[in-house]
Structure 1
Amino acid sequence: MMHNVNELMMRNRMARLRPVPVNNYQEPSPIRRVLDRVLEFYKCLVDNFGRLKLKYLRLCDRISSWSHHSYGTGLASIDDLAASSETLDFKTSRIRYVVCHPTDNKRCLLTSDDMALVYNDMRLKPYYLVSSKQRNISCAAFRPWDGIHLAVGGEGGISMWTISKEGVKTMTWCGYREEEFIYDLQWLQGGSLLGSASLGNQRIQIWHPTMRLVLQELYMPVSGTNCWALRHPLDLMYLIYYIRERCALYGYRNNIDAMSNKLVKRMPLQTAAWTGKGNHLLYVPKGSSKVMGASASKDFGFFKQHHKVWTTREVIDLGRFLCNWNQCMGGPINSMAVDPVHVYATFTFTNQSFVLLCILHTPFNCTIKLQPLQIISCPVPCPRSRPSCHAFGNSRFSGDNIERCLVICWSSSHLQIEELTAQTREDALLFQEHEIPFANRIYQIGTK
């Protein structure tokens, strides 16, 4: 009897030391354990698929970029720069480039003797920005901050100019590559980083201006795509994301490679400009008189990745067009500019000596329409005067509104400012109906 009691107490003590058994409802079956393991592996694979794929594509892009487009084979010449520039008669024109401040009425002119002229007031003497490092300059961009901060691109790198309120000029040189041309510039919206495009190696550089370093370099696979990529109206960081992050398996429709291949498959672009909020693109192929328009009509995608579907159509043929009930001859288009508020668009032609002003319209935000409005000729009698370059800018402050203007530089070294008072397309059509002329001013651009 005592033996049986001791044996029972021993069993109870050992039972307390053993773990509590799992009942039949909690114990997973072998098949369930295998399925759970497979599900965990699948979730891990899905989570890491995007990162692995992005690393693989970046590696492939870097290998192909450096193997087939090495730095030693992409050098350009001054003839290549003149052929790629939108400035008419680049080698012989006195004024090669004009740029206006995005929020102020300051203007900068780049001359053929590698001098940058910055005007606070066209009636006053400008600031002369000259340096021995500035060679074959062809582009400039104002920093969107208070004061005067200007980037000037040319052969070998970028000149970063700062002009104080007292008129003290300082220059910081951001060297890139010798015998390479920087031919397009754009600041980020906040002015912290600068984007540039080089001609020979077809690359876009993202600069840190304070450190004078290239933070990232992007390769554009199709010749002639840098110009429209850098003129994206949105933040340049969005453009970087647009190029690098969206080139995945299901992101081919939103890939700059695919879009640039579609737009310039047969020939490179002569000029291009974005309108609206980046949903419309106006572009002209080289040697063409036809203005093409690409619009993002709808979104399409899988796995919560929506991508814009682009459709391309001919907007207008400016080889022969009707303006104010007169038949006019245009021909191959040389350059194009779009009003910051998207009311006007302007065109210059390779074989013509006038600037065509058009009204830009995107009804229902779907398609692009252009209506020729006015032919602007040189106001100074000169038989060989042609518009070398032009740009939209700010004229003066009128109450709460900023009146805009069109700045045209002529080969006769004259600068013309056309006042644009229309704030909407309806105002522009009303001014046209009543034949209200634009006020204009003429200035002679001399030497130092």
Structure 2
Amino acid sequence: MVSLKDLSSYDIGGSERISRLCAVPVKEVTGNAYISEYYPEINVNREMFNTSSSRMASYKSVLIPVNEHIIKRITRTFFESGFQEALFEARSAQSAAQSPIICSLAEYAHRIIDFLNKCKFMILPHLKDQDTRCITKYTQTRDWTKSCIRWIVWHPNCFKIAVAGSDDIIRIYKDEPAIVPVLKHPNQRSITCMAWRPYSSSELTVGCEDGICHWTIENSKPASQILFLKHPKHYPVIAVEWNPDGTLLASSSIGSADVLIWNVDMIENSPLRRVGPSCSLLKWSPDGSSLFSSTISNVFRVWSTDCWTPERWTINFGQIQSAAWSPCGKFLLFVTSEESFLYRLQFVEEQLFATSNLPKQALPIADLTKVTVGYRELGGLPQSIAWDPHGRYLAVIFKDTSCIAIFMTSLTKFNLNISPSCFLTGIGSEYPSFICFQSINRRNSDSVLTIGWSSGRIQYFPFVNI
């Protein structure tokens, strides 16, 4: 049964509007519909032999402790783990017992660095979010730090899926039984996002802590080729997006306010410069005419790619958490980090003689407030959204609840209709870490939702019996 809630005085753009919003769905769907046998069975947690943290723990457990000189121990820590860990080692109790002078100097250095950081963050508060520990706040993956599944992406033109795990290894699965290729490189640390290059079956772009890893996967060669793209202050990379024809790559970083437009073949980039907070999310429109970019503040922009001019927008609270274009490119749906609502932007005029001077506004179209259905909790603050390539289904996962809300959508030339459909649940206590829809290709013409559960299990849900 569909229920509606009357809400008033909700706006983005400065004007009040009374709306009737559809609520979260209350019908549960359990189990799984029929899936063709060529869909690979994937459990990332089972396939990961060791994560980086477990390897480090195992190394420490098997090495026999020795009495190193303090200078040698600090130097070794610096080359193994960096300056911060070396400074921490110099301030440790063991160092204080061996050399109080070195420990005191390290303590003074720590206080000076801490004071300078506080001054820097007071002037430029958005720079606090450059550390990889803050990635989980802006990424589309729930509990990114703890999740064994970091990202899932389907190839837009063929049956091929790439899965990134917390061990910083990418595994490639196809519809034909074969050895699963794995992509691993020292520069590929803390994977945050991935994107296949359209119209190329072998090129995969990966955003990570230090920059961008661009892989060329050749089946006929024993090893894949990697091109590492790096730009000053443009790290960690939080979003990579190819335009629909695969000629340009857009990337953003929580360490820089600029969006970079790459010509990967020429290894060149052009920045879309803007003064302000860093950029956290990118989405090309399906026709390539617009590029959506949001920041870690309440500002987001929609760029016109013919002349790269932006249309600037603001929201009332928080920042854009997730966004999705409609297949026709006329509508953009998004959710924010502080509100339990789904918003819509429209990029086509409803009136024939409407002028561009009329104020545009983003309208709330779905109420995602947390509700209790039986013994399950559904809704709350959204984590990410995914819209299927046909424009018929929209999936939403949440930060604090374990169910996936499914909405039915209907697109016309000037309107978007949305209604609750059902909600999906996992097995036991698992919750969804990442969701995406499979692209349309020769092996698939249905709407298939791919779910990466917290247990490491990947599930395929075709919408054929809904």
- What TM-score do you get using the length of structure 2 for normalisation? 0.63
Q: Which residue does the alignment assign to 1:375?
A: 423
1:415 corresponds to which letter in structure 2?
A: I
Cα deviation for residue 309 of structure 1 reads: 5.5
Provide the aligned length of Structure 1 versus Structure 2. 333
Q: Pick one of 320, 342, 364 that aligns with 1:269.
A: 320
Q: Which residue does the alignment assign to 1:389?
A: 434
Q: Structure 1 CA distance, aligned partners of 2:145 and 2:251?
A: 22
Q: Structure 2 CA distance, aligned partners of 1:184 and 1:246?
A: 19
Q: Pick one of 169, 179, 188 that aligns with 2:243.
A: 188
Between the aligned residues of both structures, percent identity stands at 23
Cα deviation for residue 344 of structure 1 reads: 0.8
1:395/1:366 Cα in 2 relative to 1: closer, same or farther (>3 Å)? closer
Q: Which residue does the alignment assign to 1:353?
A: 402
Q: Pick one of 111, 118, 126 that aligns with 2:165.
A: 111
Q: Pick one of 161, 170, 173 that aligns with 2:215.
A: 161
Answer whether contact 2:349 2:414 (CA < 8 A) is retained: no
Q: Which residue does the alignment assign to 2:451?
A: 408
Q: Which residue does the alignment assign to 2:347?
A: 296
Q: Which protein, 1 or 2, shows the higher relative CO under an 8 Å CA cutoff with sep ≥ 6?
A: 2
Q: Which residue does the alignment assign to 2:304?
A: 242
Q: Which residue does the alignment assign to 2:385?
A: 336
Per-residue deviation, residues 323-356 of structure 1 (Å, max 9, x unmatched): 9x99963111111011112111100011111222
Answer whether contact 2:342 2:368 (CA < 8 A) is retained: yes
Q: Which residue does the alignment assign to 1:284?
A: 335
Range with bigger deviation, 313-322 or 180-189 = 313-322
Answer whether contact 2:320 2:335 (CA < 8 A) is retained: yes
1:238/1:88 Cα in 2 relative to 1: closer, same or farther (>3 Å)? closer
Q: Which residue does the alignment assign to 1:210?
A: 265
Q: Structure 2 CA distance, aligned partners of 1:420 and 1:186?
A: 26
Q: Structure 2 CA distance, aligned partners of 1:307 and 1:278?
A: 21
1:122/1:185 Cα in 2 relative to 1: closer, same or farther (>3 Å)? farther
1:143/1:183 Cα in 2 relative to 1: closer, same or farther (>3 Å)? same
Cα deviation for residue 382 of structure 1 reads: 3.5
1:335/1:266 Cα in 2 relative to 1: closer, same or farther (>3 Å)? same
Secondary structure of 1:374's match? Answer: strand
Map residues 243-262 of structure 1 onto 2, 5 A cutoff: 245=307, 255-257=310-312, 260-261=313-314
Q: Structure 1 CA distance, aligned partners of 2:369 and 2:184?
A: 40
Q: Structure 2 CA distance, aligned partners of 1:178 and 1:313?
A: 35
Q: Which has the larger radius of gyration?
A: 1
Cα deviation for residue 163 of structure 1 reads: 1.2
Secondary structure of 1:311's match? Answer: coil
Cα deviation for residue 125 of structure 1 reads: 3.7
1:222/1:390 Cα in 2 relative to 1: closer, same or farther (>3 Å)? farther
Cα deviation for residue 180 of structure 1 reads: 1.6
1:313 corresponds to which letter in structure 2?
A: L
Aligned Cα root-mean-square deviation (Å):
3.4
Secondary structure of 1:156's match? Answer: coil
Range with bigger deviation, 271-280 or 93-102 = 271-280
1:280 corresponds to which letter in structure 2?
A: F
Determine if the alignment matches structure 1 residue 120 to structure 2 residue 174.
yes
Q: Which residue does the alignment assign to 1:314?
A: 364
Q: Structure 2 CA distance, aligned partners of 1:237 and 1:395?
A: 22
Unmatched tracts of structure 1, length 5 or more: 1-68, 248-254, 422-430, 433-448
Unmatched tracts of structure 2, length 5 or more: 1-122, 293-301
Answer whether contact 1:296 1:310 (CA < 8 A) is retained: no
1:82 corresponds to which letter in structure 2?
A: T
